[in-house]
Amino acid sequence: MAETEADDRVVVLVSADWAGPSRPAPTVLRELARRWGEGRRTLLIEDPDDAVLDQLQVNVLPTWLLCAPGEGPQTIPELSGTTGSGEDAVWEGPWQVLHRRDGALPKHAVDAEFGPGAA
């Protein structure tokens, strides 16, 4: 895969502070965002409303998504939330979901599955 394609990918975490398993996930995302640097963009969608959950097809919190520009079986018109550095972001789409994991994950698993070296 070309380096420019990897740079376009975004790790999205859908989380809520009221969901017990979600509580450590934003900290994991921020730590990995610092480690990954420019190698992978990150986005935290925290306390999403029902429309966003439906659009992303999220039934479990937290949910981790790896998204890339383009259209596919699950296409998202835009991504909006907070970057790993804490800035608000809105990225116009379309975005396709390449990989998804539901539930709490340890940092090493997120790094292996969603980081810059992930396929």
Predicted confidence pLDDT, tens digits, the chain (119 residues): 333 344 689 999 999 999 998 999 999 999 999 999 988 999 999 999 999 999 999 999 999 999 999 998 888 988 999 998 889 999 898 999 999 999 999 999 999 999 998 86
Give per-residue burial for 25-59: e unless 16+ CB within 10 Å, then b: bbebbbebbeebeeebbbbbbbebeeeebeebebe
Dihedral Cα 105, 14, 80, 18, nearest 10 deg: -130
> pTM of this prediction?
0.90
What pLDDT score was predicted for residue 54?
93
Fold of the 3-114 domain: Glutaredoxin (3.40.30)
Helices then strands, each counted (H, E), the chain = 4, 5
Ranges of each domain in the chain: 3-114
